[in-house]
């Protein structure tokens, strides 16, 4: 019988990267990826613990899975990711349908764990923090093809311990992968078709790797990727304001491939709240980074994450956040109501009234969306360069992204996939741009 694996992924890009690598790894023991749940004999849920009722969502997913397999033989059920790390054995105790629980730093052990389960039916939980072995192992497993825009994890974990956040507990201490291992992986990605590489880390700009007493930082990585022929675009996420050092800022003047778009979460525009959150940066520090980057290139745009209603946030603090949004005019952002997470310092703080929370979220989201719409509208009638990522459902329509990661949709043929082409923007809405290919484009003419 052929062995098939289905993987469902929640959470950040690092989970997406991990899911793709898990697929590469389990291929070694004969599992092929399927997109049809019912065809799978191994089901993996790659989970996220960042907000809300993360744990309960996992049990609901498993409940749904049980129903789908009611009449069929049960697949091997694996819970991976950050909820697996946080809940570990508890999951096996609570839900007998779950067979294996594997934390994010243990994916190099997944094949042995699955084989052991097939042979002995022993349910197991593996949640050690062992980033070195994980990446040593994963870097030896080569994947067959790359996406036009490919993720590459360079750093994992976090030592910053913001009081609201589970990441230091679910991903463990900060670990930076060896510099040359990353470059080798980047070369392979490009050889197999990647035109854009997005460097990933929970604190990607805290990347620091020492070799013979020489430090390699994110700036060194960017400038080395710059030299890879065939690679058109470089991005990185998520960065922390405290680690926006001058060497990284200078890359925006030195590199031709680094995109002029900075996702730099600030969380709040009030220094009082940033201090209560243990963010270790001030609003002034953020604005200074913004000004330095704008001076280098006025086309650089910012996006951020905001937590609304952190305990202690009064009307003035909220106003400060609103004023900051007006100053920076973020082109794209994520905003969330504070969600108390078990085990974090902020877990038991007194919550702000729910009505106030919802109202504040609505106010800032309206303003953030307005800037997003305005930015997209400002591109109407202009020619912009976009990287074509794929075709949309055989409709002869192409999906691409502009410099700021906004989706761009236009008519065109498949041979443009993987190319940077010029598109005239005809129309836009909050999330997308709609265009027409420039007929003088060199790829069309060729
Ligand atoms: N390392 C990044 C940084 O420091 O900005 C953020 C990584 S975190 C995975 C992504 C986002 O989730 C955060 O920027 C924050 O806005 C949000 N987040 C984290 N914990 C949260 C919580 N308890 N409640 C609401 N949002 C939260
Ligand atoms: Fe979480 Fe703060 Fe670390 Fe970001 S820097 S991952 S928000 S603890
Ligand atoms: Fe979620 Fe873990 Fe990423 S908690 S946001 S999947 S690091």
Q: Is the pLDDT of residue 4 over 50?
A: yes
Number of other CB atoms surrounding residue 68 within 10 Å: 12
Cα–Cα distance measured from residue 77 to residue 446, given in angstroms and rounded to the nearest whole number: 50
Mean per-residue pLDDT, 376-386: 96
Order of strands, sheet of 100-102, starting from the edge strand that comes earlier in the sequence: 31-33, 3-9, 42-47, 76-80, 100-102, 124-126
Map the chain to HEC letters.
CCEEEEEEECCCHHHHHHHHHHHHHHHCCCEEECCCHHHCCEEEEEECCCCCCHHHHHHHHHHHHHHHCCCCCCCEEEEEHHHHHHHCHHHHHHCCCCCEEECHHHHHHHHHHHHHHHHHCCCEEECCCCHHHHHHHHHHCCCCCCCCEEEEECEECCCCCCCCCCHHHHCCCCEECCHHHHHHHHHHHHHCCCCEEEEECCCHHHCEEEECCEEEEHHHHHHHHCCCCCCCEEEEECCCHHHCCHHHHHHHHHCCCECCEEECCCECCCHHHHHHCCCCCCHHHHHHHHHHHHHHCCCCEEEEEEEECCCCCCHHHHHHHHHHHHHHCCCEEEEEECCCCCCCHHHHCCCCCHHHHHHHHHHHHHHHHHHHHHHHHHCCCCEEEEEEEEEECCCCEEEEECCCCCEEEEECCHHHCCCEEEEEEEEECCCEEEEEECCCCHHHHC
Domain boundaries for CATH 2.40.50.140 within the chain: 383-445
Q: Which atom of ligand 2 is nearest to the CA of 165?
A: 1
Q: What is the pLDDT confidence band of residue 130, given thresholds at 50, 70 and 90?
A: confident
- Residue 202 C-alpha to ligand 1 middle, in angstroms? 10
Residues lining ligand 2, CB < 6 A?
Answer: 158, 160-162, 165, 167-168, 202-203, 240
Mean per-residue pLDDT, 87-93: 94
Ligand 2: residue whose CA is nearest its atom 5: 160
Ligand 1: residue whose CA is nearest its atom 4: 240
Ligand 1: residue whose CA is nearest its atom 19: 165
pLDDT given for residue 408 in this prediction: 98
Q: Is the pLDDT of residue 445 over 90?
A: no
Class of domain 260-378: alpha beta
* Residue 132 backbone dihedrals phi, psi, to 5 degrees: -60, -50
- Binding site membership of 49 for ligand 3 (Cβ less than 6 Å): yes
Domain boundaries for CATH 3.30.750.200 within the chain: 260-378
Calculated CA dihedral for residues 211, 129, 304, 53, nearest 10 degrees: 180
- Residue 161 C-alpha to ligand 2 middle, in angstroms? 6
What is the separation of C-alpha 156 from the centre of its chain, rounded to a whole number of angstroms?
12
Cα–Cα distance measured from residue 331 to residue 174, given in angstroms and rounded to the nearest whole number: 29
- Residue 50 C-alpha to ligand 1 middle, in angstroms? 7
Least confident of 27-31, 49-53, 84-88, 392-396: 392-396
The CATH code of domain 142-202+209-238+245-258 reads 3.30.750.210
How far, CA to CA in Å, does 238 sit from each of 27, 197, 201, 235, 303?
30, 14, 6, 10, 11
Q: Which atom of ligand 3 is nearest to the CA of 49?
A: 4
- Binding site membership of 51 for ligand 1 (Cβ less than 6 Å): yes
pLDDT given for residue 144 in this prediction: 67
Ligand 3: residue whose CA is nearest its atom 1: 48
Mean per-residue pLDDT, 396-414: 95
How far, CA to CA in Å, does 224 sit from each of 180, 229, 250?
10, 11, 14
Contacts of 43 (CB under 8 A, 6+ apart): 5, 6, 7, 8, 37, 65, 75, 76, 77, 78
138-183 pLDDT, tens digit per residue, is 888 877 678 999 999 999 999 999 999 999 999 999 999 999 999 9
What is the separation of C-alpha 216 from the centre of its chain, rounded to a whole number of angstroms?
23
Q: What is the pLDDT confidence band of residue 395, given thresholds at 50, 70 and 90?
A: confident
Cα–Cα distance measured from residue 446 to residue 440, given in angstroms and rounded to the nearest whole number: 10
Instruction: Give 3-130's CATH code, choosing from 3.30.70.260, 3.40.50.12160, 3.20.20.70, 2.40.50.140.
Output: 3.40.50.12160
- Residue 47 C-alpha to ligand 3 middle, in angstroms? 8
Q: Is the pLDDT of residue 393 over 90?
A: no
Ligand 1: residue whose CA is nearest its atom 22: 339
Rounded to 10°, the helix 354-378/315-328 angle is 10
* Residue 343 backbone dihedrals phi, psi, to 5 degrees: 90, -10
pLDDT given for residue 446 in this prediction: 45
The CATH code of domain 383-445 reads 2.40.50.140
Ligand 1: residue whose CA is nearest its atom 13: 305
Closest CA to 149 of 379, 405, 384: 405
- Binding site membership of 14 for ligand 3 (Cβ less than 6 Å): yes
Mean per-residue pLDDT, 385-405: 92
Q: Which atom of ligand 1 is nearest to the CA of 158?
A: 1
Cα–Cα distance measured from residue 100 to residue 113, given in angstroms and rounded to the nearest whole number: 8
- Binding site membership of 47 for ligand 1 (Cβ less than 6 Å): no
44: left (phi over 0), alpha (psi -120 to 50) or beta: beta
- Residue 81 C-alpha to ligand 3 middle, in angstroms? 8
Mean per-residue pLDDT, 271-296: 98
**Ligand 1 mutation pick, 53, 165, 269, max ligand atoms within 8 A of CB:** 165
Q: What percentage of the chain carries pLDDT values higher than 90?
A: 90
- Residue 167 C-alpha to ligand 2 middle, in angstroms? 6
The average confidence (pLDDT) of the chain is: 95
**Ligand 2 mutation pick, 161, 163, 200, 206, max ligand atoms within 8 A of CB:** 161
Domain boundaries for CATH 3.30.750.210 within the chain: 142-202+209-238+245-258
Mean per-residue pLDDT, 325-353: 96
17-71 pLDDT, tens digit per residue, is 999 999 999 999 999 999 999 999 999 999 999 998 889 999 999 999 999 998 8
What is the separation of C-alpha 60 from the centre of its chain, rounded to a whole number of angstroms?
24
* Residue 425 backbone dihedrals phi, psi, to 5 degrees: -80, 125
């Amino acid at each position: 019988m052929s062995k098939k694996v289905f993987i469902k992924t929640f959470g950040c890009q690092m989970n997406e990267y991990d899911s793709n690598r898990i697929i590469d790894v389990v291929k070694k023991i004969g599992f092929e990826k399927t997109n049809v749940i019912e065809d799978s004999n191994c089901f993996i849920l790659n989970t996220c613990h960042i907000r809300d009722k993360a744990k309960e969502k996992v049990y609901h997913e498993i409940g749904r899975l049980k129903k789908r397999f009611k009449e069929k033989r049960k697949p091997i059920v694996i819970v991976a990711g950050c909820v697996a790390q946080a809940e570990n054995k508890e999951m096996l105790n609570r839900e007998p349908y779950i067979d294996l629980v594997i934390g994010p730093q243990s994916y190099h052990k997944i094949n042995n764990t699955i084989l052991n389960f097939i042979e002995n039916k022993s349910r197991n939980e593996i949640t050690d923090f062992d980033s070195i072995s994980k990446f040593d192992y994963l870097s030896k497993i080569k994947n067959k093809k790359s996406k036009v825009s490919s993720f590459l994890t360079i750093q994992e974990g976090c030592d910053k311990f913001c009081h609201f956040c589970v990441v230091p507990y679910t991903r463990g201490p900060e670990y930076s992968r060896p510099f040359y291992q990353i470059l080798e992986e980047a070369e392979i990605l490009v050889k197999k078709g990647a035109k854009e590489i997005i460097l990933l880390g929970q604190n990607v700009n805290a990347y620091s790797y020492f070799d013979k007493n020489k430090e390699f930082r994110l700036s060194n990585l960017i400038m080395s990727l710059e030299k890879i022929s065939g690679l058109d675009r470089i991005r990185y996420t998520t960065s922390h304001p405290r680690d926006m050092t001058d060497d990284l800022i200078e890359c925006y003047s030195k590199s031709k491939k680094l995109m002029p778009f900075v996702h730099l979460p600030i969380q709040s525009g009030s220094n009082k709240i940033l201090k209560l959150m243990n963010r270790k940066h001030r609003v002034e520090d953020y604005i200074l980074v913004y000004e330095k980057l704008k001076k280098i290139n006025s086309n650089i745009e910012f996006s951020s994450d905001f937590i609304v209603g952190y305990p202690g946030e009064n009307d003035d603090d909220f106003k400060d956040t609103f004023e900051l949004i007006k100053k920076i005019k973020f082109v794209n952002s994520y905003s969330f109501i504070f969600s108390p997470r078990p085990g974090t310092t902020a877990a038991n703080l007194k919550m702000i009234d729910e009505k106030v929370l919802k109202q504040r979220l609505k106010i800032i989201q309206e303003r953030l969306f307005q800037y997003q719409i305005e930015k997209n509208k400002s591109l109407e009638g202009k020619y912009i360069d976009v990287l074509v990522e794929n075709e949309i459902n055989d409709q002869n329509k192409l999906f691409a992204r502009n410099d700021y990661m906004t989706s761009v949709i236009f008519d065109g043929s498949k041979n443009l996939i993987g190319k940077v082409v010029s598109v005239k923007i005809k129309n836009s809405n909050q999330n997308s741009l709609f265009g027409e290919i420039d007929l003088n484009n060199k790829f069309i003419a060729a």
